[in-house]
Amino acid sequence: MSEKSDSVTVIIVARDEEGGIAGIVEQVKPYADEVLVVDGHSKDRTRELAAQAGARVILDNGKGKGAAYKAGADDANKNILVFIDADGSHEPDDIPKLVQQLTSEQADMVVASRMMGGSDEFHGNILNYIRMVGGGLITLLINLRHKAQLTDVLNGFRAIKKDVFLNLRLKANDFDIEHEMVIRCLRMGYKVTEVASHEYERKWGRSKLPTFRKAHMFFWRLLG
């Protein structure tokens, strides 16, 4: 296969993640032709540490995680995009498993499933449990509407062909980008698959998702 047909940009979205951004950059490097950190105007040393570790660093437009995804996709130089969080929740060693689904043409987008791979977060406290149940409900509604059999539409760890991402013309600028990607792919006839991947607890810093304040956003996004 030619270099162009299977080269990978790993996009790490990060806001105030100095606790471990350098380690994540190092961990994804073996699986990346390019490592791009999209920074959300961090007030800590995230940008500096990411660049020192060898990543290219750009800024998002300040609108949120979804806007960061779109900025990363626009800027990526390779034709396969892997999105991974910067808080140590995801398993970088699973990147080849994700990419393989695209290079073998089994999928146009592949999502890492916590339902298949397990999670250290789901049952740890009431907030996490509510997030799991809410995520399950959103997954069910998407499956019913699109006759799909997915298990985890909200996990940020995923891979997608760059041209497919750009064709989706995504509107979401926040955490609702994850299921908007799935909905648009299914609606446009792209193949979406999942692979098992374990989720760890956030290893440092603080969550950027105020679950209750933004809960309505996740359900509105189901409407289009």
Among positive and negative, which fits the CA dihedral 200, 203, 209, 211?
positive
| Residue 79 binds which of ligand GTP, Mg ion, none (CB < 5-8 A, kind-dependent) | none
Whose Cβ is closer to ligand GTP: residue 89's or residue 197's? Answer: 89
Q: For residue 218, what are the contacts with CB-CB under 8 A and spacing of at least 6?
A: 134, 138, 154, 175, 176, 179
Question: Alpha-carbon Rg of the chain, whole angstroms?
Answer: 16
C-beta atoms surrounding 178 within 10 Å: 26
Whose Cβ is closer to Mg ion: residue 46's or residue 89's? Answer: 89
State the binding string over 188-217 for Mg ion (x if CB under 5 A, else -). --------------x---------------
Whose Cβ is closer to ligand GTP: residue 31's or residue 218's? Answer: 218
| Residue 86 binds which of Mg ion, ligand GTP, none (CB < 5-8 A, kind-dependent) | ligand GTP
| Residue 60 binds which of Mg ion, ligand GTP, none (CB < 5-8 A, kind-dependent) | ligand GTP
Whose Cβ is closer to ligand GTP: residue 89's or residue 190's? Answer: 89
- Residue 11 pairs with which residues in a beta bridge? 36, 83
34 backbone dihedrals φ, ψ, rounded to 5°: -155, 135
Q: In the complex, which residues of this chain contact ligand GTP (CB under 6 A)?
A: 13-15, 17, 38-40, 60, 64-65, 68, 85-87, 89, 121, 156, 202, 207-209
3-state secondary structure of 4: helix
Cα 200 from Cα 90, distance rounded (Å): 6
Binding footprint of Mg ion on the chain (CB under 5 A): 85, 87, 89, 202
